[in-house]
């Protein structure tokens, strides 16, 4: 079989097999089946690096599949992934000992078209996004999209003269700890592409490099939240008592207690998952100021709150994970200065990488999928002029529901960051009327204050990483880099006691012989909190060899 094909060249390269990237691939194949579409994903298998709550607003997914997969609703996979439709939506306010249902107030807000009103989830799907991604991946494969898992990219390559993205560079494989080449060393290949679609999820490695290299700008710096979540197997009685199809969002304790503190943005979630399983999570704005705080401690407090405890007591944690959520909203969308395009030339930025999370709805999955559809449309319209794709994409997405929503929740999160939850929440009612604030970056918020509800038991990170099932080839260079070790020893440890040691959900960081090191890089769950929360901005997350990282299946 004579084979002269250049396998390192593809027409459309999509980085990241999450909902955004796969939606783009599927829609593109549906529109133009002859297009060569290739998706690369750093996880070992589809869905392994996808984690969310997750509440999914149905509309964009329906649109995507209706046009691409006839009869999809009847498929077994659809029934499994979309088994749970939300019919009970509780929004609560927790005090230390009480749980108050504030859903009626939210509903009222909805009636008066106040921003808050968007927080209602009834008729949405409650999904496990790792399953969703796996399913979408299979659909894409059936449509002859090349979905290649286990390939991590470390850089995006720009043509010096045209400033167009020519492709990406994959991670070298087969180096030892010190970086020496082993006998099985393979240099990271360069993949060239006509179109590059960045759909890496929150704080994308290539996305951020591209933003810098191509000179994209954000009006306000991106703000993040850190989410930790556990899937807990409970008894049938507990599950029935909670009721399937129910989601609970809880504000207040243990993140925010008016007046005496702590004062953090975020809240806890309890979602009914598949039979006898509840997802319990804690999402915390990464601008927390307590040096000894760890979102997992808040999760422990939340799980011990009597409202939650009744449903999970005696249960077993069967899976767990952590991730970041981009919460900066409309002003944090990266754009090209001249054209305002979200991306540049032939390179587009999608989903969480662009920051399409609507903080009023506290949802972003639907926007991720929608942005994938718009990117696919843009590509089909610019097949002969790839350099105009990003502008086209932006034009389409501006008209779509995505940007409409982003505008309506414009600076909700910034308001809270600026004024704190106590004042910020009510102020945010004014929504888009408020001016754009200058907000400090998350890492700058760290202080020497202590988290009042810390408790005396350390969260068991070993068990956590074991259920995350995270794994990397041990004998490779650490993919977590401390830029200047002296800062850790001379500034950070004396002042803050090395917060990364505490907040890293995988327990990657340790002090060994007085030096702070990413001692256990193989425990990394790829949440990237460290590079956004190190108080001295002294940590960088780089891509490890493909196939490493968590193995989410039902997150």
Please identify, using beta-carbon distances, which residue of 135 and 224 lies nearer to another protein: 135
Question: Considering the rule CB under 8 A, would residue 553 count as an interface residue with another protein?
Answer: yes
Three-state SS string over 42-111 comes to: CCCCCCCCCCCCCEECHHHHHHHHHHHCCCHHHCHHHHHHCCCECCEEEEEEECCCCEEECHHHHHHHHH
Question: Considering the rule CB under 8 A, would residue 511 count as an interface residue with another protein?
Answer: no
By CB atoms closer than 10 A (0-12, 13-18, 19+), residue 313 is middle
The nearest distance, CB 2 to another protein, in angstroms, is 13
- Of positions 79, 466, 485, 490, contacts another protein by CB under 8 A: 466
Q: How far is CA 56 from CA 72, 124, 375, 549, in A?
A: 17, 6, 20, 25
Dist CA 529 CA 537 (whole Å): 11
The nearest distance, CB 33 to another protein, in angstroms, is 17
Dist CA 24 CA 18 (whole Å): 10
Question: Considering the rule CB under 8 A, would residue 180 count as an interface residue with another protein?
Answer: no
- Of positions 3, 97, 161, 236, contacts another protein by CB under 8 A: 3
* DSSP reduced 3-state for 13: strand
Q: How far is CA 433 from CA 118, 187, 410, 501, in A?
A: 17, 52, 9, 41
The nearest distance, CB 191 to another protein, in angstroms, is 6
Please identify, using beta-carbon distances, which residue of 175 and 209 lies nearer to another protein: 175
- Site pattern 222..241 for another protein (x: CB under 8 A): -----------x--------
- Of positions 109, 498, 545, 552, contacts another protein by CB under 8 A: 545
Confirm if 496 and 448 have CB atoms less than 8 A apart: yes
- Site pattern 294..333 for another protein (x: CB under 8 A): ----------------------x-xx--------------
Three-state SS string over 248-268 comes to: EEEEECCCECCCCCCECCEEE
Q: Which of the stretches 3-11, 289-297, 447-455, 527-535 binds another protein when contact is defined by CB under 8 A?
A: 3-11
Task: Identify which of 113, 153, 145 has the alpha carbon closest to the alpha carbon of residue 28.
Answer: 145
- Of positions 520, 529, 531, 538, contacts another protein by CB under 8 A: 520
Q: Which of the stretches 148-156, 192-200, 245-253, 302-310 binds another protein when contact is defined by CB under 8 A?
A: 148-156
Question: Considering the rule CB under 8 A, would residue 265 count as an interface residue with another protein?
Answer: no
By CB atoms closer than 10 A (0-12, 13-18, 19+), residue 310 is exposed
Dist CA 533 CA 537 (whole Å): 7
Task: Identify which of 456, 450, 439, 502 has the alpha carbon closest to the alpha carbon of residue 262.
Answer: 450
Please identify, using beta-carbon distances, which residue of 55 and 168 lies nearer to another protein: 168
Question: Considering the rule CB under 8 A, would residue 143 count as an interface residue with another protein?
Answer: no
How far, in whole angstroms, is CA 158 from its chain's centroid?
A: 26
b/e map of 38-76 (b: 16 or more CB within 10 Å)?
bbbbbbbbbbbbbbbbbbbbeebbeebbeebbeebeeee
- Of positions 448, 463, 484, 486, contacts another protein by CB under 8 A: 463
- Of positions 183, 314, 435, 514, contacts another protein by CB under 8 A: 183
The string of DSSP letters for 455-507 reads: -SSPP-HHHHHHHHT-B--SSS--SEEES-HHHIIIIIHHHHS-HHHHH-TT-
- Within 36-95, the residues that bind another protein by CB under 8 A are 38, 40, 45
- Of positions 108, 122, 123, 148, contacts another protein by CB under 8 A: 148
Dist CA 34 CA 28 (whole Å): 9
- Of positions 78, 114, 186, 383, contacts another protein by CB under 8 A: 186
The nearest distance, CB 481 to another protein, in angstroms, is 17
The nearest distance, CB 388 to another protein, in angstroms, is 27
By CB atoms closer than 10 A (0-12, 13-18, 19+), residue 315 is buried
Question: Considering the rule CB under 8 A, would residue 275 count as an interface residue with another protein?
Answer: no
How far, in whole angstroms, is CA 121 from its chain's centroid?
A: 19
- Of positions 119, 191, 202, 480, contacts another protein by CB under 8 A: 191
Q: Which of the stretches 339-347, 350-358, 424-432, 459-467 binds another protein when contact is defined by CB under 8 A?
A: 459-467
Residue 56: beta bridge partners? 125
Please identify, using beta-carbon distances, which residue of 88 and 473 lies nearer to another protein: 473
- Of positions 341, 522, 531, 538, contacts another protein by CB under 8 A: 522
Residue whose tokens read 């088994």: 83
Greatest alpha-carbon span in the chain: 75
- Site pattern 406..445 for another protein (x: CB under 8 A): ----------------------------------------
The nearest distance, CB 553 to another protein, in angstroms, is 7
- Site pattern 467..496 for another protein (x: CB under 8 A): --x-x--xx---------------------
In the complex, which residues of this chain contact another protein (CB under 8 A)? Answer: 1, 3, 5, 7-8, 38, 40, 45, 146, 148, 150-151, 170, 173-174, 182-184, 186, 189, 191, 233, 316, 318-319, 462-463, 465-466, 469, 471, 474-475, 512, 519-520, 522, 545, 551, 553
């Amino acid at each position: 079989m004579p084979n002269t094909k250049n396998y390192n060249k593809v027409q459309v390269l999509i980085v990241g097999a999450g909902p955004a990237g796969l939606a783009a691939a599927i829609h593109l194949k549906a529109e133009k089946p002859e297009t060569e579409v290739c998706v690369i994903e750093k996880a070992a298998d589809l869905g392994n690096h996808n984690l969310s709550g997750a509440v999914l607003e149905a509309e964009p997914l329906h649109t995507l599949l209706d046009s691409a997969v006839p009869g999809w609703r009847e498929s077994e996979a659809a029934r499994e992934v979309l088994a749970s439709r939300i019919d009970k939506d509780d929004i609560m306010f927790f005090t230390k000992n009480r749980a108050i249902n504030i859903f009626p107030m939210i509903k009222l807000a909805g009636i008066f078209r106040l921003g808050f009103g968007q927080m209602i989830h009834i008729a949405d799907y409650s999904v496990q996004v790792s399953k969703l991604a796996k399913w979408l991946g299979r659909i894409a494969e059936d449509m002859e999209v090349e979905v290649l898992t286990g390939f991590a990219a470390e850089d995006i390559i720009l043509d010096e003269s045209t400033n167009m993205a020519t492709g990406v560079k994959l991670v070298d494989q087969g180096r030892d700890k010190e970086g020496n080449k082993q006998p099985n060393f393979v240099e990271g290949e360069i993949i060239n592409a006509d179109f590059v679609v960045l759909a890496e999820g929150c704080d994308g490695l290539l996305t951020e490099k591209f933003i810098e290299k191509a000179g994209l700008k954000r009006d306000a710096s991106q703000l993040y939240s850190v989410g930790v979540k556990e899937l807990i197997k409970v008894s049938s009685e507990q599950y029935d008592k909670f009721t399937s199809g129910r989601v609970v969002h809880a504000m207040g304790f243990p993140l925010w207690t008016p007046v005496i503190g702590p004062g953090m943005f975020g809240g806890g979630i309890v979602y009914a998952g598949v039979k006898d399983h509840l997802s319990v999570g804690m999402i915390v704005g990464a601008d927390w100021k307590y040096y000894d705080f760890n979102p997992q401690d808040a999760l422990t407090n939340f799980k011990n709150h009597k409202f939650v405890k009744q449903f999970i007591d005696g249960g077993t944690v069967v899976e767990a994970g952590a991730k970041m959520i981009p919460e900066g909203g409309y002003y944090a969308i990266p754009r090209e200065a001249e054209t305002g395009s979200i991306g540049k030339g032939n390179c587009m930025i999608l989903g969480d990488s662009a920051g399409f999370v609507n903080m009023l709805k506290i949802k972003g999955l639907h926007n991720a999928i929608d942005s994938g559809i718009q990117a696919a449309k843009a590509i089909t319209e610019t097949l002969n002029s790839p350099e105009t794709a990003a502008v086209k994409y932006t034009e389409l997405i501006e008209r779509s529901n995505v940007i409409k929503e982003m505008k309506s929740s414009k600076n909700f999160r910034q308001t809270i960051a600026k004024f704190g939850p106590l004042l910020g929440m009510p102020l945010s009612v004014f929504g888009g009327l408020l001016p754009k604030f200058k907000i400090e970056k998350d890492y700058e918020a760290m202080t020497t204050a202590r988290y009042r509800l810390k408790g005396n038991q350390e969260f068991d990170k070993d068990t956590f990483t074991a259920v995350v099932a995270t794994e990397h080839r041990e004998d490779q260079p650490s993919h977590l880099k401390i830029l200047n070790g002296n800062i850790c020893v001379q500034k950070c440890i004396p002042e803050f006691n090395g917060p990364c040691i505490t907040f890293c959900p995988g327990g990657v960081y340790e002090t060994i012989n007085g030096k702070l090191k990413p001692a256990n890089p193989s425990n990394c769950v790829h949440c990237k909190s460290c590079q956004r929360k190190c108080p001295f901005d002294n940590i960088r997350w780089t891509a490890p060899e493909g196939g490493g990282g968590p193995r989410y299946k039902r997150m």
